[in-house]
């Protein structure tokens, strides 16, 4: 483990060449701000490649958990944390230590506010906090998903105005201002697909957009040491837009299959069979799958960052808005399907005992953010249903950004006691054949009961 004091570091301010050399020699000190689903795995990846990493987080519980060598993210083991600690990884809430770092990577949340507008407060808070400690020659990279222009219009003005050394970001090909008065800035979006075990993180190409060619090269060298491929683009804004295009592409295509699913249900066609058949086309078709509604920190949120920004240009992003409308309506479609299914059994939603299977927004992950299950539970409760839930990843549902459900997980037993079981998240742990066997009625939003031929199953 390499020890560098702030004073020692201040004495040897690296310019472009020194920083590049430090990165190549694995001697660059990496500071990662925001140790959540994105920042912590990134810290571990740098650690695996022998970099000394310091994580910064305002959540003291996370800092303490890591200090004990434990993990708070399901898919990251305590063993991985301990291994990283041996490599020099530590976590802190002390921003003063930013001065010691060579590269600073920001991975803080970018949610929407109650008016469905970008909430950049986490980015601005972080930037205000690091600015006083900014040093010449440092590389600052923003990874949080956001609208094009955030790095240059929001982050840089704060860093330039509030640093104590009169530093400016290196702009233009010449690298001006002078080495002792400059820092480097870039944007590089996170592209992780939680729960995806088919693509190793290192194999996901990393898009990098620097403010000037030197910043691009430095950020490219930094990420090139942990990812197999980096993809340079011409500016931070191009990199910001790349990430949004990827997520909007998903959002719009999911809306398309959600809409077609509802038509297929009316036409008595199986959308899953149709998608599987269309997927055999060797070109021009990429499968997307319908579901109970969008979830997660990205797809339901990110597209609206762009629609908000587009208004500044007197432009309406109609695909995003339409997709948002269709996807947001899906939990209501699930509610209507539950009502219809209960009706077939001469029962109403009001008073029905309903078990929700799976509350994570996606199969096999421990993330509840924006999960459609929460909306479905709230809608059912509003209609008078007695709702229970089961999810292997969540012993309880507490307070979230939108909901305060305060529910405890029920055991997966005596399934015959429920009037209806709703499959919202098709975790691999579930034995759907057994569940259908024991249940009175199953509403399946995920095609989890594919191949199970039972009159008890209603596909929705």
Q: Which residues bind ligand NAD (CB under 6 A)?
A: 33-39, 56-59, 62, 107-110, 122, 125-126, 129, 143-145, 190, 192, 194, 297-298
Smallest gap, in angstroms, from Cβ of residue 220 to ligand NAD? 19
Which element (helix H / strand E) includes 82? helix 78-86
Rounded Cα gap, residues 46 and 57, in angstroms: 17
CB 126, CB 106: distance < 8 Å: yes
Considering Cα of 346, then 326, then 121, then 216, what sign does the dihedral take? Answer: positive
Active site includes 298? yes
Smallest gap, in angstroms, from Cβ of residue 416 to ligand NAD? 37
Closest among 434, 429, 427, 393 to 413, alpha carbons compared = 434
Smallest gap, in angstroms, from Cβ of residue 192 to ligand NAD? 5
CB 255, CB 313: distance < 8 Å: no
For ligand NAD, the closer CB: 160 or 366: 366
For ligand NAD, the closer CB: 142 or 379: 142
For ligand NAD, the closer CB: 34 or 331: 34
CB 108, CB 126: distance < 8 Å: yes
State the residue number with the nearest CB to ligand NAD.
36
Rounded Cα gap, residues 130 and 124, in angstroms: 10
Smallest gap, in angstroms, from Cβ of residue 65 to ligand NAD? 11
Rounded Cα gap, residues 67 and 336, in angstroms: 48
Rounded Cα gap, residues 102 and 162, in angstroms: 19
CB 71, CB 81: distance < 8 Å: yes
For ligand NAD, the closer CB: 120 or 211: 120
Could you give the dihedral angle defined by the CA atoms of residues 394, 398, 404 and 406, in that order, rounded to the nearest 10 degrees? 90
Query: HSE (CB half, 13 Å, CA atoms) of 390?
Result: 18
Smallest gap, in angstroms, from Cβ of residue 203 to ligand NAD? 16
In degrees and rounded to multiples of 5, residue 306 shows phi and psi of -75, -40
Name the one residue in this structure whose structure tokens are 């506010």.
Answer: 113
For ligand NAD, the closer CB: 248 or 415: 248
Smallest gap, in angstroms, from Cβ of residue 53 to ligand NAD? 15
For ligand NAD, the closer CB: 104 or 443: 104
CA 274 to chain centre: 30
Smallest gap, in angstroms, from Cβ of residue 446 to ligand NAD? 20
Rounded Cα gap, residues 90 and 92, in angstroms: 7
Smallest gap, in angstroms, from Cβ of residue 245 to ligand NAD? 14
Strands 353-357, 386-390: parallel, antiparallel or unpaired by DSSP?
parallel
For ligand NAD, the closer CB: 80 or 190: 190
Rounded Cα gap, residues 317 and 416, in angstroms: 47
Give start and end residues of each alpha helix (H) in 293-431.
302-311, 318-344, 372-382
Name the token pair of 237.
Answer: 């804004």
Rounded Cα gap, residues 198 and 201, in angstroms: 9
Rounded Cα gap, residues 118 and 111, in angstroms: 6
| Of 107, 251, 298, 460, catalytic | 298
For ligand NAD, the closer CB: 20 or 191: 191
Catalytic residues: 298
């Amino acid at each position: 483990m390499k020890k560098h004091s702030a004073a020692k570091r201040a004495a040897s301010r690296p310019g472009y060449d020194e920083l590049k050399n430090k990165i190549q020699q694995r001697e660059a000190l990496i500071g990662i701000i925001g140790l959540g689903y994105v920042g912590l795995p990134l810290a571990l990846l740098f650690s695996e490649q022998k970099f000394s990493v310091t994580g910064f987080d305002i959540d003291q519980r996370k800092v303490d958990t890591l200090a004990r060598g434990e993990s708070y993210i399901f898919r990251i083991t305590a063993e991985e944390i301990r291994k990283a600690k041996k490599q020099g990884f530590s976590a802190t809430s002390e921003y003063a230590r930013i001065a010691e770092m060579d590269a600073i990577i920001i991975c803080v949340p970018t949610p929407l506010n109650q008016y469905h507008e970008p909430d950049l407060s986490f980015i601005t808070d972080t930037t205000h906090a690091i600015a006083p400690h900014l040093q010449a020659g440092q590389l600052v990279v923003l990874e949080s998903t956001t609208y094009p222009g955030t790095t240059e219009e929001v982050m840089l003005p704060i860093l330039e105005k509030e640093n104590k050394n009169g530093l400016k970001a290196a702009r233009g090909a010449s690298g001006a201002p002078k080495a002792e008065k400059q820092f480097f800035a870039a944007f590089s979006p996170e592209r992780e697909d939680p729960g995806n075990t088919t693509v190793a993180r290192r194999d996901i190409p990393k898009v990098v957009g620097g403010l000037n060619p030197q910043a691009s090269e430095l950020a490219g060298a930094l990420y090139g040491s942990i990812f197999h491929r980096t993809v340079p683009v011409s500016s931070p804004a191009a990199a910001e837009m790349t990430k949004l295009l990827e997520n909007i592409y998903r959002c719009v295509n999911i809306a398309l299959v959600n809409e077609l699913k509802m038509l297929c249900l009316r036409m008595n066609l199986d959308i899953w069979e149709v998608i599987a058949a269309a997927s055999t086309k060797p070109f021009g078709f990429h499968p997307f799958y319908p579901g109970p509604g969008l979830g997660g920190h990205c797809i339901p949120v990110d597209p609206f960052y762009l629609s908000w920004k587009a208004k500044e240009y007197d432009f309406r992003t109609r695909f995003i808005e339409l997709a948002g409308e269709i996807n947001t309506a899906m939990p209501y479609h699930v509610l209507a399907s539950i009502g219809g299914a209960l009706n077939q059994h001469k029962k109403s939603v009001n008073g029905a005992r309903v078990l929700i299977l799976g509350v994570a927004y996606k199969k096999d992950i421990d993330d509840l953010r924006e999960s459609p299950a929460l909306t479905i539970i709230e809608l059912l409760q509003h209609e008078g249903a007695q709702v229970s839930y089961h999810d292997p990843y969540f012993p309880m549902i507490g307070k979230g950004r939108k909901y305060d459900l305060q529910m405890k997980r029920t055991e997966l037993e005596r399934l015959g006691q429920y009037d209806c079981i709703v499959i919202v998240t098709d975790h691999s742990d579930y034995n759907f054949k057994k569940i259908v066997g024991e249940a009175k009625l199953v509403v399946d939003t995920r095609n989890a009961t594919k191949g199970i031929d039972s009159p008890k199953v209603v596909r929705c």
